[in-house]
Structure 1
Amino acid sequence: MDTSLEHLSREQLIALIGERDRVIGEKEAYECQLLALIDKFKRMAFAQKRERFEGNKDQMALPFETAAAGQEAQKEVFEQKTEYTRRKQASAHPGRVALPEHLPVEEVEIKPEGDLSGMVCIGKEVTEELDYIPGRHIIRRYIRYKYAPKDKNSGSGVLIGKLPERVIDKGIPGAGLLASILTDKYGDHLPLYRQLQRFKRENIKIAASTMDGWVRQALERLEPLYDCLLGDTKAMGYLQADETTIKVMDGAKKGACHLGYYWTYHNPLEKTVLFDYQPTRGSIGAENLLKGFKGYLQTDGYATYKKLGKQEGVTHLACWAHARREFFDAMTNDKKRAEKALEFIGKLYAVEREAKENNLVPDAVKKLRLDESLQVINSMSEWIKEQLQDQRVLPGSAIGKALRYSAERWDELSNYLYDGRLEIDNNLVENAIRPVALGRKNYLFAGSHKAAQRAAMIYSFFAICKKHEVNPYEWLKYTLQNIMTIKQCCPK
């Protein structure tokens, strides 16, 4: 076959060269995209998770090598500064932190050895240490006395002392033990089988099925309270939403786990958190829960939230932390553009830090944002439009995706300027989700879909305890002791 190009016209040769250059350009772009993905995965696996960026355009570049004489001089200065810092820190030590005053004190008096009959005490020195005594299990025995009337013809019946309310009718565990088991599992991420090992060390024999039943029945007692929280959450005017996965044992899938989802709703103003379990990531669960919701809804870029954000009476807020993450991941693809975008976003967060450091009220925060953040947002908007019109920015590249991510959500990213009480990002709800991630690494999966929903209840309550700095064990113990007798006033 003749492979010569002599028979081709000039126009055909130009078209062929153009096609060759296009193919080469696409291959190079694809290669850059793959290298960027490899770098991203390396950071995810080995690097620190913090997305730190400290750019300064006025900073001079540092030399890669320094002369030997200069190195010696730098070493001497460094050693002098280090020694001075050590002396300064040693002299400025504030002293030991005082021990908590609410703890019980056990006093141990120690007198000198020998004959003290001819001596008089002139003072004493006190040394304190913080110690630990392992928790004790006790048996609480209720002895109820019966009384009968002396006169059998009086018509009065036999009287007996009333048994206090119990969490599990005719069950062994008290409220304190159940609160401890639930706090250990869902608060401190200690699976039940490890707790059984701890009971075994103390020669307390409890079957695994028995403890499973205790957990289930104790959580069922909390359902009325969870229903109240569900109603309150629907009525709140500002929610941050996010979701995370949970593996669930499913009888329909033999030898495999079902991948369910915890949908999480956080109100930064009232500091409430609601976990809602759904078998899928489909929109039906969120749509049912947020049916009739009015107010601000802040989310990431998941399409379901965008649909919910278009409901009447809902103002959708996007998350600047997610937008920043896209540009951070694009650093290896286009460092210059990515750094420019991160500088814009850094200025927005600098305004937020200023507001928090000065403890500004919401109206003052709104004014500060409109005075400073709005200018940055407008400038960044123009810059993004210019970059997207640049043909050198390939749509499939990391920087192209980052630019489009922000451009497509620009109104939602700017909506936090409406009210000084609104957050710039969705980080608070992501922080509330972290205990679930820790828990699933320990107990691995939920036993059923119902068990996953019961776990959602206790995760909700413990997250609220954390937000309000309440001891979860003490709260849960009190709740289990009283929930059956406290009047319920849930919103309809």
Structure 2
Amino acid sequence: MIDFTKENDKEFMREALMLMQEKLLSKELEVVELRKLKEKDEEILQKLEEELKNLRKRVFDSKQERKANKPKNQRKRRKGNLPHNKSKNTQIEELEIDLNEEIIDYKIEKSSCPSCGGDKLHEMNNCFEESNEFEVIERQYIIKRHKRQKYSCKCCNKIITAPGGVKLTPGGEYSIQLATQVACDKFEDHLPLERQRKQMKRAGINVDVKTLYGQTEHLYNLLFPLNELMRQDVLSEKWVHIDESPIDFYNPNKSKGYIWSMSNPRGAYYQFEPTRSGTVAKEMIQGYEKGCIISDGYSGYNFLDSDEDYKNISHAFCWAHVRRKFFEAMNHDDRSEVVIDLIDKLYEVEHMADDLHSLKEVRLDNLTSIVKEIDSWIKSMDGKFLDTSSLGKAIHYYQNRREGLQLFLNDETVPIDNNMAERKQRCPVMGRKNFNCFKSINGADVGTFFYSVIESCKSNGLSPRSFINTMAHRSAKGEELESPFEYASRISERLRTQIAEELSALSKDSG
């Protein structure tokens, strides 16, 4: 060790001081690097803890996004659809199906009383003890033999054959109704064709899977003009929900395909593509000139914000997805609960309105202040969270989509969320859980077509089976087809006219 108190050489002292400064700087750099490593380790540790909690929650907890510590005095959310989800054809949905009724009479065969054995037992007029019992008649298959009478004409010396009924295919063995059953059992009730084959075999009809698929394909060919009609129905509304969901697709590369969907109260339209590129969305909304498209914020829809060709279309985002992000963050950071409560208030206000006209007033009076509270809270959190944490990701998700999230404040035709698109994806997802995959592009097109018809029927209060059967018979006869929305609107108008006439007749009778 050098005793610097006794050292008088200035050059030596200068060099020693410079050396000490270099060592001090190197140590400071080491400290900075260690701090960075520590912060990185903390981020990794936090990320691992959050992933572990998420895995435990996914396996053991309920899938519903409800708060466990819900206040007892909190108002229950009003039940029923939000104004944007209500169909104009509600009258059809309210119609009840009348079951066939069979009356079975039971009488005492003997004339003696079962109680005392006396012979003075007499029937009581119009006195019965009644009870109801629901019965099921097993599905049966029958063979219809079509005998078309032949005639000989002595005028022209020709043989004339009586016209027959309409068929799925000329000379085919299977009826339109049977093909409708096969298609709806698979795409509405998610029953794979192999299971249907086994059911049919037990009932006495032996059909292979390839034949069953052929029936759905023939039915698809009869009804295909409906595809564009349903797409135009969806695009004729002021707002359109859009989403996409992966589905297995059999091909050598074993890659996934995607079912894209557009929906609103007028109906639903599905399209299968082996890619998740935004070009699919462009193709689907072709012809949509003005309105609003609601998405989950996936980057494939960014062309709606950047492309000049879509400047008349507003792009809104989903508050339910924002809530989901903060709900996931709440497992790791209780501060997220503030935003969840505020978003719940947004939905409470939405449920106060019965239609779009009243929704405009309700939003102006209540929602702006709630959204300002959310913005203020987000601003107050600046610098108080890690970007890689669940809370940080939720905040950035909101900030990156803030403009699209707030579009609904000034336009009553913009829905608050994209939940309708999520609900419309349930049907393909349930099918995905029951059968392995689409085995060809053609099979995928057939499937998405029937999903479009079935979900459009549900949106308009129609029975998919009855509608498909009716339209297939029309197509086989060469008659014009109607989309589910057009068909339901015509029936609704007829019902409204009928009800108005009945009310008018009642008022005249009472007068």
TM-score range, shorter chain: 0.7 to 0.9
The alpha carbon displacement at 1:22 in A equals: 3.0
Are 1:146 and 2:145 matched, yes or no? no
- Measure the CA separation in 2 of the matches of 1:177 and 1:442: 21
Indicate the residue corresponding to 1:295 in structure 2: 291
Moved more, 154-163 or 401-410: 154-163
User: 1:383: how far off?
Assistant: 2.0
Kept in 2, the 8 Å contact 1:230–1:274? The answer is yes
Task: Give me the whole-angstrom Cα distance separating, in 2, the residues matched to 1:239 and 1:452.
Answer: 23
Distance 1:354 1:55, change over 3 A: farther
Distance 1:489 1:332 in 2: 50
The equivalent residue for 1:354 is 352
Distance 1:325 1:364 in 2: 28
Query: How many angstroms does 1:17 deviate by?
Result: 3.2
Letter in 2 for 1:317: A
Structure 2 gap segments, 5+ residues each = 1-19, 74-95, 113-118, 484-511
* Pairing 1:267-306 to 2, within 5 Å after superposition: 267-268=264-265, 270=266, 272-293=267-288, 294-306=290-302
1:323 and 2:322 correspond: yes
| 1:456 equivalenced with 2:456 (yes/no) | no
How far 1:467 sits from its partner (Å)? 1.8
Superposed, 1:10-409 pairs within 5 Å as: 12-53=26-67, 102-115=98-111, 118-122=120-124, 123-149=127-153, 152=154, 154-155=155-156, 157-250=158-251, 253=252, 257-268=254-265, 270=266, 272-293=267-288, 294-310=290-306, 311-336=310-335, 338-355=336-353, 359=354, 361-387=355-381, 389-390=382-383, 392-409=384-401
- Which residue in 2 is equivalent to 1:63? none
> Contact between 2:240 and 2:294, CA under 8 Å: does it hold in 1?
yes
Aligned partners of 1:239 and 1:265 also within 8 Å: yes
Q: TM-score scaled to structure 2, two decimals?
A: 0.79
The answer as to whether partners of 1:55 and 1:343 remain within 8 angstroms in 2 is: no
SS in 2 for 1:266: strand
**3-state SS, counterpart of residue 165 of structure 2:** coil
Q: Any conservation in 2 of the 1:261–1:281 contact (CA below 8 Å)?
A: yes
Matches of 1:260 and 1:302 in 2, distance apart?
17
Cα offset, 1:101, TM superposition:
7.6
- Counterpart secondary structure, 1:330: helix
User: Structure 1 362/231 Cα, relative in aligned 2: closer, same or farther at 3 Å?
Assistant: closer
C-alpha separation between the residues in 2 aligned to 1:237 and 1:276? 21
Quick check: 1:55–1:339 contact (8 Å CA) kept in 2?
A: no
AA paired with 2:179? L
Q: Give the Cα–Cα distance (whole angstroms) in 1 for the partners of residues 156 and 185 of structure 2.
A: 52
Per the alignment, residue 479 of structure 1 pairs with 471
Confirm or deny: 8 A CA contact 2:241 2:264 kept in the other structure. yes
Q: Please say which of residues 369-378 and 38-47 is displaced more in the overlay.
A: 38-47
- The 8 Å contact of residues 363 and 419 in structure 1, kept in 2 or not, is answered as no
* TM score, norm. by length of structure 1: 0.82
Larger deviation, residues 127-136 vs 284-293: 284-293
How far does the alpha carbon of each residue in 1:283-339 deviate from its partner, in whole angstroms, 9 at most, with x for none? 121112223422100000100112224421110110001111111111233222x11
For 2:437 and 2:352, the matched residues in 1 are separated by 43
SS in structure 1 at match of 2:314:
strand
**Structure 1 residue 46 displacement after superposition:** 2.5
Aligned CA distance change for structure 1 residues 102 and 292 (closer, same or farther; 3 Å): closer
Paired AA for residue 198 in structure 1: Q
For 2:97 and 2:304, locate their aligned partners in 1 and report how far apart those are by CA, in whole Å.
Answer: 50
CA distance in 2, matches of 1:166, 1:133: 26
Task: Tell me if structure 1 keeps the 8 A contact 2:316–2:414.
Answer: no
Q: C-alpha separation between the residues in 2 aligned to 1:31 and 1:379?
A: 32
User: 2:81: which partner in 1?
Assistant: none
The whole-number CA distance in structure 1 between the counterparts of 2:71 and 2:194 is 56
8 Å CA contact retained: 2:261, 2:271 = yes
Say whether the 8 Å CA contact 1:238–1:295 is kept in structure 2.
yes
C-alpha contact 2:167 2:175 (8 A) present in aligned 1? yes
Counterpart among 409, 418, 426 of residue 426 in structure 1: 418
Give the conservation status (yes or no) of the 8 Å contact 1:432–1:463: yes
Q: Distance in 2 between matches of 1:488 and 1:188?
A: 25
Asked if the contact 2:243–2:260 (Cα under 8 Å) also holds between the matched residues in 1, the reply is yes
The residue type paired with residue 299 of structure 1 is: S
Partner of 1:281, secondary structure, is coil
Q: How far apart are 1:19 and its partner, in Å?
A: 3.4
Q: How many residues align?
A: 430
Equivalent-residue separation in structure 2 for 1:309 and 1:107 (angstroms): 65
Identity over aligned pairs, percent: 27
Q: Match for residue 13 of structure 2?
A: none
